[in-house]
Copies of this chain bind each other. A is one copy, B any other.
Amino acid sequence: MAERSTDATLSDPPPTSAAKTPRTERGRKTLRAILDAAAVEFGEKGFHDGSISGITQRAGVALGSFYTYFDSKDEVFRALVRDMSAQVRDHVGPHVLAAADELAAEKAGLKTFLEFVRQHKEIYRIIDESEFVDQESYRQHYETSVQRIDARLKAGAARGEVRADVNEVHAWAIMGMNVFLGLRYGVWDENTPTEDVAAIANDMLRRGLAPD
């Protein structure tokens, strides 16, 4: 039997190149502060108007600390896209793993994604802008998300929890569903309970993907 797979089992590349990975706890905190500040800076101003000095001021770190980890505005932006992908995965992953079966896992995944988006609305602007700043990061963000969904679906099929013929089209369909429900009920509207949105979408998915 296939094991339950989770987001957390798939490793993303680290936010910066190996040479620049911080080796101390203090370094890790500085890098974290820079990435969090970059999310606010690019989320508010966009890539073109955002600046390295805006990031270091928000982070409360010296310019030299920035250049310890990143060579350019492009580089911190690319790292930020990978970091946001990883944050979603780390936030959603444990809830997906704790679910009783694959269909419950997809519901938990959507619900916790909506919650994450409400707390990090800038994620949409940043991921969407990556299409124009760095097409490769944009594509990798979505392809990585789809690979995780696809792996979960296939493991669920092996356990008899979803139909046996699940494939990549289902995974892209589910991701698209989640992205636009996140835009509508995460970024644009905070009032509809996330549980309600996840329950409605999941009921459709549950019937749509039930084993024959």
Q: Kindly provide the distance from the CB of A156 to the nearest chain B CB, expressed in whole angstroms.
A: 14
Is there an interface contact between B179 and A180, defined as CB atoms closer than 8 Å? yes
B180 touches A201 (CB 8 A): no
A197 to chain B, nearest CB (A): 6
8 A Cβ contacts from A81-107 to B: none
Residues of chain B contacted by A196 (CB below 8 angstroms): 169
Closest chain B CB from A144 CB (angstroms): 14
What is the minimal beta-carbon distance from A95 to any residue of chain B, in angstroms? 20
Interface centre among A131, A139, A179, A204 (most CB of B within 10 A): A204
A159 on interface, CB distance cutoff 8 Å: no
In the assembled complex, A167 has its CB within 8 A of some CB on chain B:
yes
List residues of chain B with CB within 8 A of the CB of A207.
207-210
Copies of the protein in its oligomer: 2
The reply on A27 being an interface residue by CB < 8 A is no
The reply to whether B180 and A176 form a contact with Cβ atoms under 8 Å apart is: yes
Q: Does A181 contact B (CB under 8 A)?
A: yes
Task: State A142–B181 Cα separation when bound (angstroms).
Answer: 12
Complex Cα distance, B171 from A184, in Å, reads 11
Q: Are A177 and B181 CB-contacts (below 8 A) given A132-B46, A207-B210, A209-B204?
A: no
Docked CA distance A48–B209 (Å)? 44
Assess whether A172 is interfacial by the CB under 8 Å rule.
yes
**Bound CA–CA A74/B181 (angstroms):** 29
User: Which residues on B sit within 8 Å (CB–CB) of A128?
Assistant: 128, 131-132
Q: Is the CB of B172 within 8 A of A181?
A: yes
The 5 closest A-B pairs by CB, nearest first: A176-B180, A208-B208, A204-B208, A176-B176, A169-B200
Given A46-B132, A204-B209, 14 more A-B residue pairs with CB atoms under 8 Å apart are A128-B132, A129-B132, A139-B188, A169-B185, A169-B197, A170-B200, A172-B177, A173-B181, A173-B201, A174-B177, A175-B180, A176-B176, A179-B180, A207-B207
> What are 11 A-B contacts defined by CB distance under 8 Å?
A142-B183, A169-B181, A169-B201, A170-B201, A172-B180, A173-B180, A174-B177, A176-B176, A177-B177, A179-B179, A204-B209
